Homo-oligomer: A and B are copies of this chain.
Amino acid sequence: MYPDPRFVTRVTTLGAGPIGGGWAAHFLARGYDVTAYIHSEAEVPALMSVIDTAWISLTALGLAPGASRDKLRITTDLADSVKTAQFIQESAPERLEIKQALYKKLGDLAPRDCVIASSTSGLMMTQIQAECMTPQRTVIGHPFNPPYLLPLVEVVGGKGTEPEAVAWAVEFYRIAGKAPLAMKKEIPGFVATRLQEALWREALHMVASGEATPDDIDNALMNGPAPRMAVQGQCMAFHVACGEGGMATNLDQFGPALKWPWTRLDAPELTQELRDRMVDGCNDIAAGRHFEEMAATRDREIVAVLNAIREARR
């Protein structure tokens, strides 16, 4: 039913803000023909400013063959912007009534085999698609700011979405140079924002109680876990740090510490099932690699990150 994602050449973006403009820039950099719908012509300078800013970074990362800002068409006609679209990335304001009204229109205007993805970070697709007559092809495609730089796109459908549309979006984003994460369930905040929000809440707790300033928080992150987390997620960081025993050692030895007041935020009960999921999951990622090999890889990549930051700041 959906077109082969490898042969998509036309993408429509909706929205002139940093997210909508960032998406337009990303798709242009990957060589697509991009139609950008904006609310009014007064938004053209803002849109072009975002694209021009993003283009500097996208060029430094490497443009796809045939990529050009000349492939951008801007329109204020919604019907015209989507009528021949092969994929739509919607980045309208984060207000439910606006999104619902928009999806009601898009449901009729966009071709039936065109997947529509929302950049929303705070709303759920089940809500957004409530008034859409063709909800089966509507999905969340949540980027991380800045959207033209960070590869993550979290993909999940609503109750009215068909699984094929989610699978198609995941495949399309991958072809389009992103790192899609197909979510298991529709939950508020998705995965990355939930992790970031947990960290953010503890940061606010520390500032509220006078234990740290915003400068302390930022320095702690930049000089501590972040350069490692950029090359190795937190699960594998613990897995590899615990040597031969891996995640099993981490949970069996440090599990009791989950009850310690190392943050104000409550940990889940460490059941046998949770333990096994964490251990099995890390072993799956390791895929037979020895921890020393993974530690050496981590170190080489952290060195590259630290040297790159130092060089960029020179």
Check: A118 CB closer than 8 A to any chain B CB: no
Check: A227 CB closer than 8 A to any chain B CB: yes
The residue that A198 contacts in the complex, of B146, B263, B273, with Cβ under 8 A, is: B263
* CB pair A299 B194 closer than 8 Å: no
Binds B, one of A26-34, A102-110, A126-134, A264-272: A264-272
Q: A302 to chain B: closest CB distance in Å? A: 5
Expressed in whole angstroms, the Cα–Cα distance for A308 and B208 within the complex equals 37
For residue A223, which residues in chain B have a CB less than 8 angstroms away from its CB?
Answer: 144, 150-152, 179, 181
* CB pair B202 A146 closer than 8 Å: no
Expressed in whole angstroms, the Cα–Cα distance for A264 and B187 within the complex equals 11
Q: From known contacts A220-B181, A220-B191, A226-B226, infer whether A296 and B53 are also in contact, taking CB-CB under 8 Å.
A: yes
* CB pair B122 A257 closer than 8 Å: yes
- In the complex, the count of this chain's copies comes to 2
Expressed in whole angstroms, the Cα–Cα distance for A187 and B184 within the complex equals 37
* CB pair A284 B231 closer than 8 Å: no
Check: A219 CB closer than 8 A to any chain B CB: yes
Check: A183 CB closer than 8 A to any chain B CB: yes
Expressed in whole angstroms, the Cα–Cα distance for A211 and B190 within the complex equals 9
* CB pair B278 A192 closer than 8 Å: no
For residue A211, which residues in chain B have a CB less than 8 angstroms away from its CB?
Answer: 183-185, 187, 191
Check: A225 CB closer than 8 A to any chain B CB: yes
Binds B, one of A7-15, A54-62, A83-91: A54-62
Q: List 19 A-B contacts (CB under 8 A).
A: A57-B300, A146-B228, A146-B299, A149-B228, A150-B302, A181-B216, A183-B211, A185-B209, A189-B261, A191-B216, A195-B220, A196-B234, A198-B201, A204-B267, A204-B274, A214-B285, A219-B233, A265-B265, A305-B309
User: Contact residues of A with B, CB < 8 Å?
Assistant: 18, 53-54, 56-57, 60-61, 122, 144-146, 149-152, 154, 179, 181, 183-185, 187-189, 191-238, 241, 247, 257-258, 260-271, 273-274, 277-278, 281-282, 284-285, 295-296, 298-309, 311-313
Given contacts A194-B263, A217-B234, 15 further A-B contacts (CB under 8 A): A144-B224, A149-B227, A179-B223, A181-B216, A195-B220, A197-B265, A198-B264, A201-B266, A203-B234, A207-B277, A214-B277, A214-B282, A215-B235, A300-B312, A304-B309
